[in-house]
């Protein structure tokens, strides 16, 4: 693990020469090749590009949910693909926060319970987990919604719960996959700004996949993806 005293000198995220290949029938598809990027604590990076270009695939590789065909991903200097599956799962719980377009909240749980879940998974005492979850719901403007299940929340409120859940465990890196794509413009604006502000406040790196150039241009960095042509593997 990286010593806390030198953490700020180490990039939160570094991807080196990432390549992803897969077969689509007889053809080989290469969403990206030799892709490299770097992100510091508190910075935001927008990944943009047309639908189907591999933006979500890249996010999954950065979060250790999928493996690249080649290349490495480092979270605070630690190579995540040199870890065992169990070690990578622990790293995701301790250092990563995820926000999805459709929030993926547990419908049978309250907003408070949903936000506390990452802490409970890491065996944080329940009282402490609930206190921290309530604090984050207050920070995202949902102090009056603690006991509400997702079914009683608006789309924007559900995304704010998802943001609180992603940040409650003090992650080093937050990965957000089209978090505003299912919201009206005004709500999307509020959710985007909240996500950027709270990650900056917590000194968490933020990678956000978006098709919206208005939001992308407000991030510290932008990474544009374009699809590579599919090839017949028999001719490579």
Residue 39: its pLDDT value, please? 93
Residue 8: its pLDDT value, please? 56
CATH assignment, 4-235? 3.40.50.300
Residue 227: its pLDDT value, please? 61
CA distance to 30, 35, 68, 88, 183, per residue, from 21 (Å):
5, 13, 8, 22, 32
Is this model's pTM higher than 0.85 or not? no
Residue 163: its pLDDT value, please? 87
**Tally of CA atoms within 13 A in the half-sphere of 147 that contains its CB:** 0
**Regions of the chain short of the pLDDT cut 50:** 1-6, 229-236
Task: Report the DSSP beta bridge partners of residue 29.
Answer: 22
Residue 231: its pLDDT value, please? 46
Percent of the chain as helix, strand, coil, to the nearest 5: 40, 25, 35
- In angstroms, the first-to-last Cα distance of the chain is 41
Residue 31: its pLDDT value, please? 79
* Burial tier of 93 (Cβ tally within 10 Å: 0-12, 13-18, 19+): middle
* Contact assessment for residue 118 and residue 106, using Cβ atoms and an 8 Å cutoff: no
pLDDT digits (tens, 9 = 90+) for 210-234: 888 889 999 999 988 876 544 444 4
């Amino acid at each position: 693990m990286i010593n806390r005293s030198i953490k700020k000198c180490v990039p939160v995220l570094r991807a080196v020469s990432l390549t992803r290949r897969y077969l689509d029938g007889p053809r080989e598809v290469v969403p990206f090749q030799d892709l490299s990027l770097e992100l510091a604590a508190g910075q935001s990076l927008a990944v943009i590009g047309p639908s189907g270009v591999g933006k979500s695939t890249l996010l999954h590789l950065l979060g250790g949910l999928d493996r690249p065909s080649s290349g490495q991903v480092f979270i605070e200097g630690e190579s995540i693909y040199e870890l065992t599956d169990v070690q990578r799962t622990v790293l995701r719980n301790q250092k990563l926060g995820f926000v999805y377009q459709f929030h993926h909240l547990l419908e049978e749980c309250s907003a408070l319970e949903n936000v506390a879940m990452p802490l409970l998974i890491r065996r944080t005492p329940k009282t402490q987990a609930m206190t921290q979850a309530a604090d984050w719901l207050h920070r995202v403007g949902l102090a009056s919604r603690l006991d509400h299940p997702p079914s009683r929340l608006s789309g924007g409120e559900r995304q704010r719960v998802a943001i609180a859940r992603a940040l409650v465990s003090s992650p080093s890196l937050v990965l957000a996959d089209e978090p505003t794509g299912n919201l009206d413009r005004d709500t999307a604006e509020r959710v985007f700004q909240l996500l950027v502000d709270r990650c900056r406040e917590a000194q968490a790196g933020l990678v956000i996949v978006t098709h919206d150039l208005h939001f992308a241009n407000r991030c510290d960095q932008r990474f544009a993806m374009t699809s590579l042509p599919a090839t017949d593997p028999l001719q490579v």
